[in-house]
Structure formats: structure tokens, C-alpha cells
Homo-oligomer: A and B are copies of this chain.
């Protein structure tokens, strides 16, 4: 197979070899229906014989389609975004698109630099988990560039400006609170993050709504802090040493919840019996924790798939009606929030 490094094969070479014009070869490459079957075959054979490699850059220059999509996440090392990316990759691969990836580290500066680069590369669309504090103007600017942008998981402003794909965390948290209330819990604390973004606000709204519904407004308690496993452990320890200790914790994500489980076992308490714990995301680890962790499942892979599909649709119809896809975030009940260890069940 090893070919000698001769000069690069272009459409012109194929045209000469197959006895047709450049234009015809181009049409074949674009899988156009215009060209006759016999001709198409001859051209394809010539291309194969010469070892032709399509030059997408050259095609882009004329047609301004790149078959690429830009993806920005906060931190690709976080398993949640890994799974999200897996869903995106899967869908794009099937459509012969390829993702450019960047981690913003929740820094506006890095996000801006990446966006500028994506613009230079003329990606066909952008999948953006906006960094904290991203101003609405940035999203509008992207639209202004003529670049379709899908906001994923978070959106800037009160409600999404354009296309959006996320999980229904509000309902998820409401279900979680109801599930706890039914079991007799009254002092339910929300372990939230510090930053103020849509995904955090949704959780908070669900929590407030459900606590109010249960007549527990005056027992509402929101604890704000960092969102790592370690922080979850420390914050839980602090809460349990306070004077009004909660009987149940709803955590911003599973990492924090797993930290909370560590804190409980460190104090010799049993999650579920002594204090209920519920996380968010239902990462793989949740089911295998000891005791198994109840969690509001956000299905990152499915979100990734939906977001990528929406991006492809928007590329095809740039002016189509904007969509807002909100996937269900069902509560998965496991031992960490059950007094008795009855069989696992799911609430919608």
C-alpha cells in the first residue's frame, strides 16, 4: 500500500484519467443525482485508482460548509461532560460531521478565545454550555455572526434566547422533595452551588416550590458552597454539627452527594436511615455507592444526542423555528433516601 510521495491528486487529475471535466468529477464527489450512473462509476474508479483525498478546505472556501461543529464545555475531565460529549460525538459521526472541542474552565476569557477561533474556522454550528456570567450579548453576537448556537444544560438570561437543550431539573427537584416529604422529612436542606446560572436557579425554583407546597417555607434551608466531592463531605459535616440538623439533603450534583455519603459514614450514621441523601445526574457511580445513591437522572448522553441533532437540524434550516428541548429528569430512588430497603422504584 505504501505509495511514494508524489504530487497531490486533485479533481483535475481524476477528470483527465476518467475523460470527463472537473465539474463532472465535482458533482460525483457531492453525490449529485445529476450525473449518469456509468459516468459516476468511471469517476469513482479513477478516484480510487489515483488515491484521491477530498480536500474539504478547498470545498469550504467556495461553499462555506465545513462539516464541523464547535463544542464548549466547562470541564471535559468531569464525567458528566464526558458522557455528554459521547452523545454528541455519536450523533455527529453518523452525519459525517466532526466536533471541535474546548474546555472553558468556566472562564469567560477562554470561552471568548475559543469562540473567536471557531469563527475563524467557520464551524457550521456551535454547541455551548455557557460559562458562568456569560452575558446575553455574547449569545446574540454569535447569532449575529450567522452561526447557529445551541445552548446546552445552561442558558443565559431568564429563558433561552434561541435553541436550547437541557434537563427538567425543576420538576426533578420537586419530585425529590415530595418523595422526602411523603416519608416524613421536614428539615430538607438544598446543597447548592455558589454561582448564579440557569441550572442552579431551576433547582432552587423546584425546591422553593415544593417546600411551599408542603407548607414548609420556614424550614427551607439553602446551603451554598463549592461543588466537589470533598466540599460535599465538608459541607455535610458542618451542617450535621449545626444546631438545627437536616434530616434530608438534596445535592446540586452526585459528586456533592457522594461527599455527603462519606460524611455520614464518617460520623457512623447510615444514609437513608439517619439522613436521606439525593443527588443530581445519576452518574454511573451512584448506583454502586454504599448505600446506593438516589439521584435525579439527567441522562447526559441523551442530552448530547439531542443537542447534536438539533444542531444538524439548524444547519439544514437556519431560519426554522427555535426549539427548546427539555428532557425529563426522573428521580431514581435507591437506598440513600429510603427508610426501608424496599425494591427500587422510579418516579416520573
A89 within 8 A of B: yes
A248 within 8 A of B: no
Q: Specify how many copies of this chain sit in the oligomer.
A: 2
Give 19 pairs: A residue, B residue, CB < 8 Å, sorted on A.
A1-B141, A2-B141, A5-B144, A5-B146, A53-B120, A55-B61, A57-B61, A68-B100, A75-B86, A76-B85, A77-B79, A77-B86, A79-B82, A86-B103, A93-B113, A96-B117, A98-B102, A98-B114, A229-B288
Q: Which residues of B contact A117 (CB under 8 A)?
A: 96, 98
Mark interface residues in A258-293 (1 if CB within 8 Å of B CB, else 0). Answer: 110010010000000000000000001100101000
In the bound complex, CA of A1 to CA of B141 (Å): 8
In the bound complex, CA of A113 to CA of B137 (Å): 38
A34 within 8 A of B: no
Q: Which 6 A-B pairs have the closest CB atoms?
A: A82-B82, A77-B86, A57-B60, A101-B101, A77-B83, A77-B82
Assess whether A100 is in contact with B102, with CB atoms less than 8 Å apart. no
Q: Which residues of B contact A98 (CB under 8 A)?
A: 100, 102, 114, 117, 121
Q: How large is the interface on A (under 10, 10 to 19, 20 to 34, 35 or more residues)?
A: 35 or more
A56 within 8 A of B: yes
Assess whether A76 is in contact with B58, with CB atoms less than 8 Å apart. no
